[in-house]
Amino acid sequence: MPQNPEHLAAIDLGSNSFHMVVARLVQGELQVQEGLSEKVQLGAGLDEHNCITADARERALDCLGRFAQRIRDVPRIGVRVVGTNALRMARNAKEFIRDAEAVLGHDIEIVAGREEARLIYLGVSHSLPDQQGRRLVVDIGGGSTELIIGERFEALETESLHMGCVSFTRRFFPENTCTEKAFDRAVTTARQEVLTLQAAYRRLGWQEAVGASGTIKAIGQVCEENGWSDGAISAEGLERIRRRLVRAGRVPETGLKGLREDRMPIFAAGVAILTGIFQQLGLTSMTISNGALREGLLYDLLGRLEHEDVRERSIQALMNRHHVDAQQAQRVADTAQSFLAQASEGWALADTMAAEVLRWGALLHELGLSVSHSQFHKHGAYLVQNSDLPGFSRQEQQAVAVLVRAHRRKIPLAAFDELPGDDQAMLLRLSLLLRLSARLHHARSDQPLPDIRVTVGAKKLALAFPEGWLADHPLTRADMEQEQEFFEGGGFELVIT
């Protein structure tokens, strides 16, 4: 494992703003050195077909070009870049990500809503005193709103709701208008969204409520500068803001102290959403945190560097939930890793991600047996693709799912065609290693395999067994001969000696 980098960077490609934070790692602790934020309005740049428009794309790439200059000297292992709701929604997200990665020089992950919520809580919990008791954390973004209950540094309940400042502005408050009827409709809509989680969250309970987004900070700033609070947000303060908004009819004419001009277009929507949350969950006050998604990314990245990777817990939890035979999974994983070590140079697989994805695929290759033995590889791929796996990006889940899907029977070339172009060849080659590993442990025996030599070419893989071993194991020979047919269908040659 290479030495941890001195600097870490996290970039959050939000629906309203792009944020970047750069921190220095000092004796295992993070010291934030710089934070940058630009209102790119990617969510507002989705057209009626949910495609990123040319103007929004240009704004985004220009911003990322500036971010790229600042992180040019940060090693790749020290940078994480994630996209949230706008990129989850965009139909042309793949094309945008390809161009954005070229500008940044770093991979971009799209995270699911609940994973975004977990990361937000991680950032908030590290920005507040470490104390006992549960917290309710709320983050109102441009396209989604995350609500989390956690204790200390662990998220206990996570949810991402399909409401945000950008979408609510389009729907209820176009062109900075704010009527009483529109505000009430927006609050009711927000309450309806929160209703889905209300019972579970109230049953779990919390001792304090914390807000964690730019929108909530803006509301807190207005409350403080108008003398309605000491920086926190109260139900009374929200009501005062509501009255000023509907009385003026237009946000710029409210005369609210502390309301920045760049916040005006989405301010009424943010107030309505937060009001709905206050009313539905019975909140009376909310403090404000400086930590959010980007800080959570830093601490999650630090955990990976320090061998505290939440993804490992997610894999084990999924295995436990579906009663995977852990011994068999580990046998296959060990053999797959041995084959990877021998094939990595010839197949250009000397990448940390390749080793991780192959091991995860091997551990989960029998996941679908909990559904049915018939076509269990397909059932397993579905479970991997559609489960909530804390720590995983959508791309990582898709990569593992494809390996599970491709580990037996016909090689599903169409499934690889759906992957990003840069990953297709790598994952196809990894799937071949996994297939052979699973076949060789067909007997589920604790008896160790012999020393098997692996050599690879562009479209060729050769396995060399000790002399006479295959003759003594005719069922394994039959398995290998059947794999030769499957390899041929996938455009590869499998040579057995």
302-354 confidence digits (pLDDT tens):
999 888 899 999 999 999 999 999 999 999 999 999 999 999 999 999 887 89
Strands 79-83 and 7-13: parallel
**How much of the chain exceeds pLDDT 70, in percent?**
99
Strands 145-151 and 7-13: unpaired
> By CB neighbour count within 10 A (0-12 exposed, 13-18 middle, 19+ buried), where does 126 fall?
middle
What pLDDT score was predicted for residue 307?
A: 82
- Asked whether residue 102 carries a pLDDT value surpassing 70, the answer given is yes
What pLDDT score was predicted for residue 135?
A: 97
> What angle do helix axes 165-172 and 180-204 make, rounded to 10 degrees?
150
- Asked whether residue 189 carries a pLDDT value surpassing 90, the answer given is yes
What pLDDT score was predicted for residue 26?
A: 85
> What angle do helix axes 54-70 and 93-104 make, rounded to 10 degrees?
30
What pLDDT score was predicted for residue 3?
A: 65
Q: What is the pLDDT confidence band of residue 375, given thresholds at 50, 70 and 90? A: very high
* Stretch 79-92: mean pLDDT: 97
- Asked whether residue 1 carries a pLDDT value surpassing 70, the answer given is no
- Residue 325's contacts (CB-CB under 8 Å, 6 or more residues apart) are 366, 444
Q: Which two tokens stand for residue 333?
A: 């994983």
As a whole number of angstroms, the distance between CA 255 and CA 259 comes to 8
Task: Give the CA angle between residues 491, 475, 497 to the nearest 5°.
Answer: 55
First to last CA, the chain: 35
As a whole number of angstroms, the distance between CA 319 and CA 321 comes to 6
Other C-beta atoms closer than 10 Å to the C-beta of 239 total 14
As a whole number of angstroms, the distance between CA 317 and CA 324 comes to 10
Instruction: Tell me the per-residue pLDDT of 225-270, one tens digit each, with 9 for 90 and over.
Output: 999 988 899 999 999 999 999 999 999 999 999 999 999 999 999 9
| Under 8 Å between Cβ of 220 and 288 | yes
Whole-structure pTM value? 0.90
As a whole number of angstroms, the distance between CA 276 and CA 191 comes to 5
Q: What is the pLDDT confidence band of residue 129, given thresholds at 50, 70 and 90? A: confident
- Asked whether residue 445 carries a pLDDT value surpassing 60, the answer given is yes
- Asked whether residue 56 carries a pLDDT value surpassing 60, the answer given is yes
- Asked whether residue 411 carries a pLDDT value surpassing 80, the answer given is yes
* Stretch 3-19: mean pLDDT: 92
